[in-house]
Amino acid sequence: MPPAMRFLVSNDDGFEAPGIAALARALGPLGEVWIVAPEQEQSAKSHAFTMWEPLRVRQRGARQWSVAGTPADCVYLGIHHFLDEPPDLVISGINRGSNLGQDVHYSGTVAAALEGCMQGYSGLAFSLHRSSEDPVDHWETAEEVVQRVVNAVMYDSPVPKGAMLNVNIPNVPPENLKGLHATRLGRRFYDPGVHMRVDPRGGDYYWIGGPHAGFEATEGTDGPSIDGGFATVTPLHPDLTWHEHLDAVRSWTDG
- Cβ 108 to Mn ion, closest distance in Å? 6
The angle at the Cα of 71, spanning 70 to 75, to the nearest 5 degrees, equals 120
Q: Which is nearer to Mn ion, 112 or 177 (CB)?
A: 112
Q: Which is nearer to Mn ion, 128 or 150 (CB)?
A: 128
* Sheet-wide strand order for 89-96: 57-61, 64-67, 31-38, 5-10, 89-96, 123-129, 164-170, 231-236, 180-182
Question: Using the rule CB under 5 A, is 222 a contact of Mn ion?
Answer: no
User: Contact 101/184 with Cβ under 8 angstroms?
Assistant: no
Q: Which is nearer to Mn ion, 88 or 103 (CB)?
A: 103
Candidates 57-65, 82-90, 95-103, 228-236 — which segment interacts with Mn ion by CB under 5 A?
A: 95-103
Question: Using the rule CB under 5 A, is 141 a contact of Mn ion?
Answer: no
Q: Are strands 89-96 and 5-10 parallel, antiparallel or unpaired?
A: parallel
Q: Which residue is nearest to Mn ion (CB)?
A: 43
Question: Using the rule CB under 5 A, is 95 a contact of Mn ion?
Answer: yes
User: Contact 27/72 with Cβ under 8 angstroms?
Assistant: no
- Cβ 45 to Mn ion, closest distance in Å? 9
Question: Using the rule CB under 5 A, is 13 a contact of Mn ion?
Answer: yes
Question: Using the rule CB under 5 A, is 103 a contact of Mn ion?
Answer: no
- In angstroms, the CA 99 to CA 54 distance is 29
Binders of Mn ion among residues 55 to 94 (CB under 5 A) are none
- Cβ 41 to Mn ion, closest distance in Å? 7
Phi/psi of residue 111, nearest 5 degrees: -60, -35
Reply yes or no: is the peptide bond before residue 79 cis, omega within 30 of 0.
no
- In angstroms, the CA 17 to CA 24 distance is 11
Question: Using the rule CB under 5 A, is 12 a contact of Mn ion?
Answer: yes
- Cβ 230 to Mn ion, closest distance in Å? 22
Question: Using the rule CB under 5 A, is 43 a contact of Mn ion?
Answer: yes
* 3-state DSSP helix/strand/coil % of the chain, to nearest 5: 30, 30, 40
- Cβ 96 to Mn ion, closest distance in Å? 6
Q: Where does this chain bind Mn ion (CB under 5 A)?
A: 12-13, 43, 95
